[in-house]
Amino acid sequence: MLGSLDSAHRRVLEVAAVIGALRWEVLLPVAEADDGLVFAALNAATELDLLSGTQGADWNPGAREAVLGGLPGWQRSILTRRAVTVMLDLAERAVEAETAALWRQRGAELYEESGDLDEAGELYLLVARDGSVRGDLTIADTTLAGARRCGMPAVRMAIEEVRLACLKGQYQRAVAIGCEVVESATGEQHLELCRLLAWAAIAAQDFELCKALMAQVWDEDDWASAGVRSRMATLLGEEELAEKYAQTAILYAERTGDPEELYLAELARGHCELARRPDLAAVAFGRARRVAAEHGLVSLRVVALLRMGHAEMLSGPEAPSLLSARDLAEECGLAGLVLQVDLLRAELLLLTEGPAAASALIAQAQDSAVAAEHPHLRLRVGLLSIYARAFAGDQVGLERAITEAGRYGPFPEPTRSLVESLRAAAQVAVGNLDQGGPALAAGVADVRGADLLSTQLVGLAQVLIAAAGRTWQGRSATAHPLAAVAADYAAAVTAGLDGKATEAAELLARANSGSAPYKGVSGLLRFPLLVSQAEKGWGEPLSQLRADLVAHQEIGSTGLAEANRWLLRSAGAKVPHSTGHAEIPSGLLAAGVTKREMDVLTMLATGDTNAEIAERFGLSVRTVETHVSSLLRKTDLRDRRQLRAACLQRRFDHV
């Protein structure tokens, strides 16, 4: 059949068979033919039933294999190399990064089909790294599988697999992959793998492994490791060392001109400032974001936005960069980073609105972490649930959350110290200051990190120490507004006990004003002060106790509400009955619907929008959306239309 084609037509068809998919921008230059000859050759092949489709664009079954079978190996290799050269040139000239990656991937596939596995593997690894950095995890996965088929060396495979696993949030998996081959790595590959593994170990909170890896590669001339050394020093509280390494990382990045190194250096500088000056940290993370954006490093841009959001959380009650990070991560399919953003959003929601408002987002994060098999992130979700139960004074729920989180392995340090501190905080939240106070004050000495949870624990200990009539000797708090609030509450207690009524009142008013945006934790921070007022006879605690009782009921802090009732009774005051549950139908009450959720449901039933509900109750639209999501989950309904219909049909009386 092929013998009936003249030599010129046959040559065009052989080139087309090597290329596979008939792309004109590749076929014409590789065949070294003009349009007329190519059209004639393809028409002739169509008449022989080798091709079909519009203008002979598709190979018929077995036809391509038949043409390739007649090609000598050396000739196919030459044509393949020419075709790949054209494809790589098209990749260089492509406007879209995705188009460039697809051309390179097709080139690797041609090399693999022709049996040139070394060239194929090199190209697959190049595309995989590019896909990881750009956040295109689909092409990264696909091309890593191609490199594996080509038998690429284990160390080179591990480097790219560790990088990709970290982007997916699979830090333990990254550590396991890298540790399996790190001892066999040599030279620059050993250095690169150790640095990547060190970043993964930090994310997995395996600080001992990180130190061991850095000990293998670090010397004073190893500037490339300065960024990870700085991050490690920050986590260990070695601030001066962290700053020194961060400066070294900046100098190294400027010397090399490598955008990825500059990005990492700016991240290191941001982390150095995070606890003391979150505003400056946000600026450094912003510079990292710009570097990533300018060089198309999409996945790194998401991480920088996430860090900016964290810095914003440490500066105030709003973190708009978290939503930007989530949108971009979701667009790129970076499920691990979406989950990390949601964990920070849930933490902020716990602080500003309380455990009831955050419950739906925590449950969603738990489901995502389990489904995506993220052991490290499952632990973080578990810790967040422990945090919520502790600050609500729910001791039974706290122990249940600790047991649940422990299913994913023993708590590493410093998480163990953190959990014990949260147990102590839960004791305080139910009114047991004598037992919980000393335990918390002792425990926070081991709590590290520039995070909101640490800030609350340290702040609570500070107020408790003052209420016990002692001077605070603990570690310095972060720059978060709630740290200043806790310091003012502690100072107000000291002034009140010293008989300085005016000073105490001024400090208390300032603290109450500063804590107003943080409804989820302000009552707990204030509780030891109210106990001191009621028991030591200074100030006027009753009106604040009544107001806090209502607030605790609304945000779902049941244990703290009971502690407030006890304190009111002990002061001889009339204790108001809870107004929340009386307005909630029994079925919804059994489903766990809170007073605030019932308020939202009542307005939703009349057709009000989220914006209108938010304005009515002084909430953010995002918080209202969270309440609606929680209602849908608790009522097992799909959307707000079904919620409204159920209200109108009065079905909730029997849920």
> What digits encode the pLDDT tens for the residues 484-503?
999 999 999 999 999 999 99
Long-range contacts of 240-247 (CB under 8 A, 24+ apart): 242/268, 242/271, 242/272, 243/272, 246/271, 246/272
Q: What counts of helices (H) and strands (E) characterise the chain?
A: 35, 2
Largest CA distance in the chain: 111
pLDDT of residue 348: 92
Report the alpha-carbon distance of residue 52 to residue 388 in Å, rounded. 64
CB 15 within 8 A of CB 38: no
Decide: helix, strand or coil at residue 52: strand
pLDDT of residue 224: 78
pLDDT of residue 369: 79
Stretches in the chain below the pLDDT threshold 50 = 56, 578-582, 654-655
Phi-psi category of 377—alpha, beta or left, where left has phi over 0 and alpha has psi -120 to 50?
A: alpha
Closest CA to 245 of 213, 277, 222, 275: 222
CB 236 within 8 A of CB 207: yes
Decide: helix, strand or coil at residue 237: coil
Domain 583-654 carries which CATH code? 1.10.10.10
Could you give the C-alpha distances from 501 to 296, 496, 527, 564, 600, in angstroms and in order?
60, 6, 18, 23, 41
> Strand runs (DSSP E) across 275-338, as ranges?
none
C-alpha of 604 from chain center = 31
Q: Exposed, middle or buried by CB within 10 Å (0-12, 13-18, 19+), for 637?
A: middle
Closest CA to 578 of 598, 562, 597: 562
Phi-psi category of 637—alpha, beta or left, where left has phi over 0 and alpha has psi -120 to 50?
A: beta
N-term to C-term CA, the chain: 75
What's the pLDDT tens digit per position in 244-255?
Answer: 999 999 999 999
Residue type, 580: G
> Which position has the token pair 């190209």?
123
Q: What is the pTM of this model?
A: 0.75
The listed CATH number (1.10.287, 1.10.3470, 1.25.40, 3.30.450) that belongs to domain 218-333:
1.25.40
pLDDT of residue 649: 64
Quick count: other Cβ atoms within 10 Å of Cβ 232? 23
